[in-house]
């Protein structure tokens, strides 16, 4: 497919301007240089963008079970609410009296998300999940500092953690201690006890996601958070994937002090694709005075903004990505209390259905009931037929479905991590199950072809290392 610049032909244009009715002005010479803008007819432009859209796989095209990323269908009504003029045509420095509805919406979103997470206060400043982790860890740091307890510089992170966890910890200058998982996928509690006994007062806190990235709810969670609290550390919950537990279990009740949410996974904003996200953090009351940014407070019928005296600063301008927060609020209010818990129940049900149906063909990394996602290991297939998880994932593209997450979590070899989400129906999952099994059969009967797939996509196998190391981000005009 050609770029729009390559399709351009000179003096080909689609706008017919009205006759000029203002005096002509000479542009500065610099501005007179050839801008090299593409010149096309309206029809060509329309076809170009339609073709681009057709080459992208999204939830609107088909199955997209990207584990740990919750690529689910997001109701259009939430987009509509976020596009109301009263929300979009405003300025952050506008007189507060004129944006009472906006402040009320932020306040409501705060209340609902606190209720869902078991926290006391949220800030909507962080722009995404990893940014939330960074901001939440700064909160933990501010707390220890306020108590003159600054020698704590270590963060415990299980080896099943999302890669952003250790990365965020080192961004705030903490050292990371990794603790192993046991064979059931939970934190190895004896190993954790040993670390806590050894490091004690050096421990700033623990970062954990529950259910973890292998799709297992850690049954020892209360013991884990207590171990950390007993030595004066705080507990951070990576709530990127609340899809499995919202309405059923709350990080606040599990003993966590700080949590971030990915509104752009669970709460009606698509994840990926480059649009704005939102990674609000919530905390228990004893931490709220350190929160970054402004908080909405209500006095009688009036909503105001305050900056806490001990706030550690700002992590983003103004109030974060407000329209994303609004979509989350609309989503929560349309589903209601029952709908929220039903959504996660169905997410868990769907994952278990697929896991069960596939377990006669694929090796599951962990036995038993999973939460919103499950991990398969293709190590055996690789060993016996030299067909890797990558080969299987690439083959799926030929069937018009998006591959699951590959090679993550790192502790499972040849991993494929499947998260169907609650928005897929049984028929769609049955179709995907059939395709997965067909690919497995091909892998055994004709392993060579598997290295060639996909055969029918616009581009075949790309050099992913080169794309990551030397990305071409701008078109170089001649």
Ligand X SMILES: *Cc1c(COP(=O)(O)O)cnc(C)c1O
- Determine if 209 is a binding residue for ligand X (CB under 6 A): yes
Please tell me the distance from the alpha carbon of residue 235 to that of residue 223, in angstroms, as a whole number: 12
Stretch that binds ligand X, among 38-46, 235-243, 281-289, 359-367 (CB under 6 A): 235-243
Kindly determine how many residues on this chain lie close enough to bind ligand X according to the rule CB under 6 A. 15
By beta-carbon proximity to ligand X, the closer residue of 118 and 279 is 279
Backbone angles phi, psi at 238, to 5 degrees: -80, 100
Please tell me the distance from the alpha carbon of residue 118 to that of residue 257, in angstroms, as a whole number: 9
By beta-carbon proximity to ligand X, the closer residue of 70 and 388 is 70
Report, in Å, the least distance between residue 168 CB and ligand X.
9
Rg (CA), the chain: 25
Residue 250, helix vs strand vs coil:
coil
- Determine if 241 is a binding residue for ligand X (CB under 6 A): yes
Which residues within the stretch 268-307 sit at the binding site for ligand X (CB under 6 A)?
A: 277, 279
By beta-carbon proximity to ligand X, the closer residue of 181 and 388 is 181
Stretch that binds ligand X, among 14-22, 125-133, 412-420, 430-438 (CB under 6 A): 125-133
Region at 342 (left for phi over 0; alpha for psi -120 to 50; beta for the rest): alpha
- Residue by residue, DSSP assigns 152-168 as --EEEEETTS-THHHHH
Beta bridge partners of 179: 158
Please tell me the distance from the alpha carbon of residue 418 to that of residue 68, in angstroms, as a whole number: 8
Which residues within the stretch 140-179 sit at the binding site for ligand X (CB under 6 A)?
A: 162, 164
Which residues within the stretch 305-344 sit at the binding site for ligand X (CB under 6 A)?
A: none
By beta-carbon proximity to ligand X, the closer residue of 212 and 388 is 212
The verdict on whether omega for the bond into residue 341 sits within 30 degrees of 0, i.e. cis, is no
- Determine if 242 is a binding residue for ligand X (CB under 6 A): no
What are the strands, taking DSSP E only, across 124-201?
Answer: 154-158, 175-179
Stretch that binds ligand X, among 113-121, 233-241, 243-251, 321-329 (CB under 6 A): 233-241
- Determine if 130 is a binding residue for ligand X (CB under 6 A): yes
- Determine if 205 is a binding residue for ligand X (CB under 6 A): no
Question: Please, what is the end-to-end C-alpha distance for the chain in angstroms?
Answer: 19
Q: CA torsion angle for 69, 75, 81, 87 (degrees, to 10)?
A: 20
Stretch that binds ligand X, among 236-244, 301-309, 315-323, 401-409 (CB under 6 A): 236-244
Please tell me the distance from the alpha carbon of residue 31 to that of residue 8, in angstroms, as a whole number: 21
Q: How far is CA 308 from CA 123, 288, 294, in A?
A: 12, 8, 7
Report, in Å, the least distance between residue 239 CB and ligand X.
8
Which residues within the stretch 363-402 sit at the binding site for ligand X (CB under 6 A)?
A: none
Stretch that binds ligand X, among 97-105, 122-130, 326-334, 400-408 (CB under 6 A): 122-130
Binding-site member from 179, 240, 358, 365 for ligand X (CB under 6 A): 240
Length in residues, the chain: 478
Binding-site member from 68, 243, 344, 350 for ligand X (CB under 6 A): 68
Using a 10 angstrom Cβ sphere, with 0-12 exposed, 13-18 middle and 19 or more buried, the burial of residue 451 is: middle
Q: Which residue is nearest to ligand X (CB)?
A: 129
Q: Which chain residues interact with ligand X by CB under 6 A?
A: 68-69, 128-130, 162, 164, 209, 213, 238, 240-241, 262, 277, 279
């Amino acid at each position: 497919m050609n770029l729009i610049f390559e399709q351009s032909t000179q003096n080909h244009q689609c706008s017919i301007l009205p006759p000029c009715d203002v005096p002509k002005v000479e542009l500065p010479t610099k501005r007179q240089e050839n801008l090299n803008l593409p010149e096309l007819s309206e029809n060509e432009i329309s076809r170009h963008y339609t073709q681009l859209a057709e080459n992208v796989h999204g939830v609107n095209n088909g199955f997209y079970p990207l584990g740990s990323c919750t690529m689910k269908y997001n109701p259009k009504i939430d987009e509509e609410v976020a596009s109301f003029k009263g929300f979009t045509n405003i300025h952050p420095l506008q007189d507060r009296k004129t944006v009472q509805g906006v402040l009320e919406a932020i306040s409501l979103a705060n209340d609902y998300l606190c209720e869902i997470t078991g926290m006391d206060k949220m800030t909507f400043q962080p722009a995404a999940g990893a940014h939330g982790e960074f901001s939440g860890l700064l909160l933990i740091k501010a707390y220890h500092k306020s108590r003159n307890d600054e020698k704590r510089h270590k963060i415990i992170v299980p080896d099943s953690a999302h890669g952003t966890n250790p990365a965020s910890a080192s961004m705030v200058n903490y050292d990371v201690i990794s603790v192993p998982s046991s064979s059931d996928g939970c934190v190895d509690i004896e190993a954790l006890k040993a670390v806590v006994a050894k490091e004690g007062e050096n421990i700033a806190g623990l970062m954990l996601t529950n259910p973890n990235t292998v799709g297992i709810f850690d049954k020892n969670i209360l013991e884990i958070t207590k171990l950390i609290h007993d030595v004066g550390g705080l507990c951070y919950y990576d709530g990127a994937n609340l899809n499995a537990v919202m309405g059923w279990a709350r990080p606040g009740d599990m003993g966590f002090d700080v949590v971030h949410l990915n509104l752009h996974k669970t709460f009606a904003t698509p994840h990926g694709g480059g649009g704005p996200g939102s990674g609000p953090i919530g905390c228990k009351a004893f931490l709220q005075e350190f929160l970054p940014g402004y908080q909405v407070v209500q006095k009688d019928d009036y909503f105001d903004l305050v900056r806490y005296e001990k706030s550690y600063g700002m992590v983003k301008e103004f109030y974060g990505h407000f329209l994303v927060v609004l979509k989350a609020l609309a989503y929560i209010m349309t589903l209601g209390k029952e709908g929220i818990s039903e959504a996660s129940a169905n997410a868990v049900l769907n994952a278990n259905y697929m896991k069960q149906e596939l377990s006669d063909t694929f090796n599951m990394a962990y036995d038993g009931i999973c939460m919103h996602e499950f991990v398969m290991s293709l190590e055996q297939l690789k060993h016996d037929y030299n067909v890797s998880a990558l080969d299987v994932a690439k083959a799926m593209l030929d069937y018009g479905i998006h591959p699951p997450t590959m090679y993550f979590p790192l502790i499972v070899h040849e991993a494929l991590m499947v998260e169907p989400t609650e928005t897929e129906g049984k028929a769609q999952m049955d179709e995907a199950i059939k395709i997965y099994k067909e690919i497995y059969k091909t892998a055994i009967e004709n392993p060579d072809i598997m290295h060639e797939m996909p055969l029918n996509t616009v581009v075949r196998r790309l050099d992913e290392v080169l794309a990551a190391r030397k990305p071409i981000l701008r078109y170089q005009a001649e």
